[in-house]
Amino acid sequence: MKRIISIIIVAVMLILPLASCDLFDIFKDPENSVELNIIDDKYRNWYEIFVHSFYDTDNDGIGDLNGVTEKLDYIKEMGFNGIWLMPIHPSPTYHKYDVKDYYAIDPQYGTLEDFDNLITEAHNRGIRVIIDLVVNHSSSDHPYFMEACDYIRENGEPGGKYGDYYKFLKNYNQTGYSNVSGTNYYYESRFWSGMPDLNLDSENVRSEIVDIMEYWLTDHNVDGFRLDAVTSYYTGDVAKNVDFLSWLNTEAKNIKPECYIVGEAWVGSDYLINRYYESGVDSFFLFTGAQATGNIATYVKQQSGKRLGEWMMTLQDTYTSGILAPFLGNHDTMRPGSFMPGEENVKMAAGVMAMMNGGTFVYYGEEIGMLSKGGNQSDPAKRIAMKWKAKNIYEGCCYLPPENTHVDESSYKYPSVEEQLEDPGSILNYYRIAMQLRNRFPSIARGEIENLHDGSSNYICMLRKTYEDESIIIIINLDTFEQTLTLDREALGATEIVGELYIDVTKEATWNEDGTLVLPAQSIVILK
């Protein structure tokens, strides 16, 4: 891989003007000639992986943990220093959000030994690993639930060892409840009958959750958890959800103080998302910025740099604690390649996200512009196989869940990883530069923001970010045409361009002696 990158860069250097070399400095040298300033804290570039569809090493059509391990160098070279593994536990479904055993690895994915090796190899590369913790519900195939239902059938009422693990009500045939077959009892199942809701008020359940967290944090050295469906813990009751999250966060930090926790609070209001930060949980996904209707996509399509900068300030004023978790799409949503019109806008949305505070989350395949299969937006279609190779799509390739059908070439609008690695102007290399810029300048993720927009152009977002002794200025041109600004170096407190992110890699920004800064269309520059 390193040799390939070196060859690529030599070719690029022959094509591009000498002044644009800085664009590729951040990854041109296998020995890391450009100094990165990666801080080992909770502000990371996270890569979300659906193991089933990522990389298959045993030729059974299903991705596996060894496949993730095999691709760790790729993940690191892309600038990611954190991995979120979607559920890896035994489950009757392809998505595995209905867990049968919280203490095991699904055999389709490998063994506990494979998992431990993945953790070790990731840590050796400075990559942290978090896993999904699904405690709103279990699988209806979980032994605890089956035993609890058997007890009701045999005794006519809930009881036994696991009777309080779930929420059983007599003669309660209401929305969000399912029948215990052969009885007049119903159990809460807000998502579907195969996912019975756990009784989170049960001390036995809470003790079990602590045991599960300790098992993975201590015995298997994971670095934290992604919490699924936190708004459904107590449906419609934000206060109780926050209280439970506070308890869970405290228990997790008692086990491993440095562990990182990010929650899925799927609400469309910054105010409501912010309420969940009262729990002390490190991060919650920033849904107001994500998807086709989120602020990132909206401002990019509107070419409104002014509004983008104002929104960044609003986020800073709103979220006064915790670590933001911006993202564009994930396993539940459309991919950016599907909802952003054209390659230029796919890149620009990624660039804007990369310049945001917090820890960014990128869904596997997003970095090559992957779509849903055939444009279909069904759940399995959002989890199609990663396309690694150009000529042989079956090498390491996975089946489309849940059908036993290989991926369709028409599902991919943009080229494979193999092809995009060789193209300096590809979506992949754009993502790589964007993530590496975050690694190079800690202020991007952690800095206090000052909006420097002077009203001269609505296309321009101009921010100062300051973290400790580093102060940088980020300028984003959302216009599809070149923009020229006049900047006073002395007044600005910056003297040079130190980072660049271009849609068109044959163009470059110039900062002339007279103070005019010429920005190519849809470009991002960092001044210092």
Bridge partners (DSSP) of residue 474 are 463, 526
Contacts with 253 (C-beta within 8 Å, 6 or more apart), sequence order: 259
41, 147, 214, 228: the active-site residue: 228
Tokens of 207: 């003790």
- Classify residue 107 by burial, with Cβ atoms within 10 Å: 0-12, 13-18, 19+: exposed
Q: Which of 77, 106, 264, 367 is catalytic?
A: 264
Q: φ, ψ for residue 499 (rounded to 5)?
A: -150, 145
C-beta pairs of 95-98 under 8 Å, 24+ apart in sequence: 95/331, 95/379, 95/383, 95/401, 96/52, 97/132, 97/134, 97/195, 97/228, 98/134, 98/137, 98/138, 98/139, 98/140, 98/141, 98/194, 98/195
228 is catalytic: yes
Nearest to 86 by CA among 109, 69, 56: 109
Q: Which of 177, 195, 176 is nearest to 187 (CA)?
A: 177
509: number of Cβ within 10 Å = 22
> Is residue 264 annotated as part of the catalytic site, yes or no?
yes
Q: List the beta bridge partners of residue 450.
A: 464
Return the active site residues.
228, 264
